[in-house]
Amino acid sequence: MPAVQTCPDCGDTGWKPSSRPDGLPAVAACTCRDAAPGPVRLEDIGVPRKEAEQARFDRFFSVSGPLERAKGVVYKWADSYPDVKGGLLLHGPAGVGKTHLAVALLHHVLLERGISVKARFEYVPRLLREIQHERNDLLLIDERRLAELARAEIVVLDQIGADTGWGQRVQERFLYILHRCVQGASFLICTTAFPLEAAQQATLAEQITVRGVSLLHEACRVVPMPGEDYRIKIINPGLNV
């Protein structure tokens, strides 16, 4: 038996047709969303406590023009949601603020704007460990854990390619997760420290395969974040490593 729709304006999607001032079509949050409570804390959707407490757009320390532009792109996305096209792929070296901006986006959408939308934050190496079960040399997937992720409308995948051991099995597992998110029409907000093009160091394609990078390009706008490690340059520049 098909489910009965309870909201005639949006068909229970939470979004109803609207239009921009210039007459172009758009979508707007339906009033029925007011009855659906959002997360009380960012920790409830997987954000680490430190980032949940500190990551805000007005606390992002832009040390260069490119980082200021990256902040502007992410803020515009967060302030325009759901009237956006695709997600974002933030890429740059360690310490430039990729995770900070991704969490600031969640905070702005969910708490500052008060939009009730299902969202998840996932640190990719941890996610891969949590959903994998190897038994009798067979790789099994925790479908319940994955279904929770696939139901989210905004999915943050933090530190794609990080950690060691991205062998064939791990790559296949990540592609499965990525494919489920893309096919489930989730908006992906991704971060990675790996370069997208060939260089002296390992590329993202070597970690998650060429198909994985292709899927990310299909789902996300690339936002470059070049710069120096904020933690080393600003927070503790005198630390000798």
Same-domain status, 95 and 200: yes
Q: What is the pLDDT of residue 108?
A: 97
Domain that holds residue 12: 1-36
- The structure tokens listed for 204 are 């993202």
DSSP 22: T
Same-domain status, 206 and 109: yes
**241 domain-assigned:** no
Considering the entire predicted model, what is its pTM?
0.77
**4 domain-assigned:** yes
Same-domain status, 103 and 26: no
Q: What is the pLDDT of residue 2?
A: 33
Same-domain status, 109 and 22: no
Same-domain status, 10 and 62: no
Q: What is the pLDDT of residue 115?
A: 93
Q: What is the pLDDT along the chain (241 residues), one digit of tens a residue?
A: 333 445 777 765 666 777 777 777 776 767 665 555 555 689 999 999 999 999 999 999 877 899 999 999 999 999 999 999 899 999 999 889 999 999 999 999 999 999 989 999 999 888 887 776 555 445 556 677 777 787 889 999 999 988 756 677 778 878 888 887 887 778 999 999 988 776 545 688 888 888 888 889 989 999 999 987 665 555 555 545 4
Same-domain status, 8 and 77: no
Same-domain status, 69 and 178: yes
Same-domain status, 30 and 64: no
Query: CB pairs under 8 A, 24+ apart, for 179-182?
Result: 179/215, 180/146, 180/149, 180/150, 181/149, 181/150, 181/155, 181/157, 181/219, 182/215, 182/218, 182/219
Q: Structurally, how many domains does the chain consist of?
A: 2
CATH label of the domain that carries residue 127: 3.40.50.300
**32 domain-assigned:** yes
Same-domain status, 63 and 179: yes
